[in-house]
Amino acid sequence: MSSSSTPLPPKLDTIVQKFKRREDPKKRYEQLLWYAKKLEAMPEEGKIAENKVQGCVSQVYITANLQDGKVWYQGDSDAQLVKGLVAFLIEGLNGLPPAEILQVTPDFIEETGLKVSLTPSRANGFYNIFQLMKQKALGLQLEMSA
């Protein structure tokens, strides 16, 4: 179980555990590239300023939609490694209610061991992608309660 105060959603926890088991930074990179290949293509119309992740060296876009009270993300990046980070987060957070996403703290990023493998700007970008996903979940939650 995760050491953060709030338990991680099951899918996210599974992914974090996979990365924790990979001692070799090269294996973590390979895992990210595998996620990048699995990521569904994002429609071009989603690649607009309001969906762009700020503070990322790469071009990164995230969209979020609400279906039956659950958040469904789509995302893309022009850098394969960053695309893997996007896919990691989408896989871990898709299909959760907004309130559950908002409870996730970024501690899990540290737990993956990826921070050691990533350049500081990429590690910061990973955090920024996660923050944008939380912002979008909050927006959807506010729409639900309006």
Active-site residue set? 56
The length of the chain is: 146
Number of Cβ atoms within 10 Å of the Cβ of 135: 13
SS3 content of the chain, % helix, strand, coil (to 5): 60, 10, 30
Compute the distance between CA of residue 58 and CA of residue 15 in angstroms, rounded to an integer.
23
Structure tokens belonging to residue 74: 């789509």
Exposure letters 4-30 (e unless 16+ CB within 10 A, then b): eeeebbeebbebbeebeebeeeeebbe
Q: What residues form DSSP beta bridges with 71?
A: 66, 96
